[in-house]
């Protein structure tokens, strides 16, 4: 069985057919620049001491300081974090940000911790990695099961260590703690901008386009809410516990209200003001949701949700990857043979890191933008880079994934080459 990092690296094989890269570039993209494993002792509320394992991987910093989120999840491991840092390297280059890629995580089930325990863990993680992060070195951000509050704790811990206010060290902070407007919705908003550009070629109007969404966390919810507001038909939603499918359009905001009320998607009583009604829906598993016959299947959960075991059952016409690595390389080949268009993660979910970049810029300049400015700047970048990838795919007759990788690697290769490669020194 191949590792997740081997799967991630295999994406480069197709790209190598269409670009001549120096051996120096190929070799440097095979290995992370730095991988740190740390132990984080935390005093629990009952007085016991637990030790958690954390990681921070900085894959490449040729194009700028490294950038990447921190996830809290029981399945976090070094292979996963290394893979995610590699994808971040490609992603930042695809949308032209002056960053390299990094990722971090702690092996923990956060729902089992009290808020005080979660704060101690968050601060302990920053104490453990403080020597390798900084506004000009490596800038963390939220990821799976982390949020603005946790980023605020982490930033505050870093300030105490450094004895100065350095808000640009971490992005995704609360707005009142020098965070950026628009950061919470950025990943979903960026994905929607990409989808809108893609659907232009198919003349698919939102009101005639059905969407099923696997993953109803922050990114999935904001994408669903924004798409619904534009008139797209949201017909199915799921989270880690299961999902719902409806003949009527689902209103994501009302579904989220109910989920927050009883922590499930199964009790569907829609309440809009003083009016409540039962929604007509069927309960489905995450696996069943993937196989629905819809126009767009949105993958906003975790890695490897579509594999060679279930790829042949997928019936959606287009797949939007908001999650990182939700389709295995083997499944990619099956979907390609079936004629299913896959809009890849390294382009689609880049809205989050783009607005994180905006936050970093605002923190360093001390000048802050309003929501309309954030949205306008995000739209310009996502529209431009999406069309660059789509045009490259058409010109080279590539899959959208290969085109996105080629687009990003061209930028990375250019930066590495400017430092001097074997070919330069053999002149």
Three-state SS letters, the chain = CCCHHHHHHHHHHHHCCCCCCCHHHHHHCCCCCEEEEEEEEEECCCCCEEEEEEEEEEEECCCCCEEEEEEEECCCCHHHHHHHHHHHHHHHHHCCCCCEEEEEEEECCHHHCCHHHHHHHHHHHHHHHHHHCECCCEEEEECCCCCHHHHHHHHHHHHHHHCCCCHHHCCCCCHHHCCCCCCCCHHHHHHHHHHHHHHHHHCCCHHHCEEEEECCCHHHHHHHHHHHHCCCEEEEEEECCEEEECCCCCCHHHHHHHHHHHCCCCCCEEEECCEEEECCCEEECHHHHHCCCCCEEEECCCCCCECCCCHHHCCCCEEEECCCCCECHHHHHHHHHCCCEEECHHHHCCHHHHHHHHHHHHHHHCCCCCHHHHHHHHHHHHHHHHHHHHHHHHHHCCCHHHHHHHHHHHHHHHHHHHCCCHHHHCC
Residue 252: name the closest of 264, 235, 275 by CA. 235
- CA separation for the pair 200, 180 (Å, rounded): 30
* Residues belonging to the active site: 103
Integer angstrom CA distances of residue 58 from 35, 62, 96, 307, 379: 6, 11, 18, 28, 28
Both tokens of residue 332? 């990619």
Are 303 and 80 in contact by the 8 Å Cβ rule? The answer is: yes
Both tokens of residue 4? 């997740």
Instruction: Evaluate the CA torsion angle 371, 377, 379, 381 in order and state its sign.
Output: negative
């Amino acid at each position: 069985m191949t590792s997740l990092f081997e799967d991630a690296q295999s994406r480069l094989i197709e790209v190598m057919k269409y670009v001549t890269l120096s051996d120096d570039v190929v070799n440097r993209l095979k290995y992370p620049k730095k991988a740190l494993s740390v132990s984080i002792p935390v005093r629990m509320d009952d007085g016991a001491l637990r030790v958690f394992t954390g990681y921070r991987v900085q894959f490449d910093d040729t194009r700028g300081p490294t950038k990447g989120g921190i996830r809290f999840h029981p399945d976090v491991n070094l292979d996963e974090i290394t893979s995610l840092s590699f994808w971040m390297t490609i992603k930042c280059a695809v949308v032209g940000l002056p960053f390299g890629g990094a990722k971090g995580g702690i092996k923990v089930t956060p729902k089992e911790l009290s808020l005080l325990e979660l704060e101690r863990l968050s601060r302990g993680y920053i104490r453990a990695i403080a020597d390798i992060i900084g506004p000009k070195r490596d800038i963390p951000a939220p990821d799976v099961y982390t949020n603005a509050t946790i980023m605020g704790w982490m930033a505050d811990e870093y300030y105490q260590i450094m004895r100065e206010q350095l808000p640009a060290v971490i992005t995704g902070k609360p707005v009142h703690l020098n965070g950026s407007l628009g950061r919470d919705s950025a990943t979903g908003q960026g994905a929607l901008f990409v989808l809108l550009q893609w659907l232009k070629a198919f003349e698919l109007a939102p009101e005639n386009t059905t969407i099923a969404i696997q993953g109803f966390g922050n990114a999935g919810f904001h994408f669903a809410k924004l798409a619904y507001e534009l008139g797209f038909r949201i017909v199915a939603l799921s989270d880690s516990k299961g999902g719902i499918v409806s003949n009527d359009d689902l209103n994501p905001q009302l579904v989220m209200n109910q989920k927050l009320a009883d922590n499930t998607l199964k009790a569907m009583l829609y309440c809009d003001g003083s009016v409540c009604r039962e929604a007509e829906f069927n309960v489905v598993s995450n696996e069943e949701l993937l196989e629905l016959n819809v126009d767009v299947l949105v993958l906003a959960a975790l890695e490897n949700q579509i594999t060679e075991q279930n790829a042949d059952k997928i019936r959606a016409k287009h797949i939007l990857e908001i999650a990182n690595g939700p389709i295995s390389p083997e499944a990619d080949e099956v979907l390609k043979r079936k004629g299913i268009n896959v809009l890849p993660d390294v382009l689609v979910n880049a809205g989050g890191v783009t607005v994180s970049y905006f936050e970093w810029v605002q923190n360093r300049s001390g000048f802050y933008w309003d929501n309309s400015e954030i949205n306008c700047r995000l739209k310009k970048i996502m529209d431009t880079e999406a069309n660059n990838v789509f045009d490259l795919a058409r010109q080279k007759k590539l899959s959208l994934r290969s085109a996105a990788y080629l687009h990003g690697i061209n930028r990375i290769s250019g930066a590495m080459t400017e430092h001097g490669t074997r070919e330069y020194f053999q002149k």
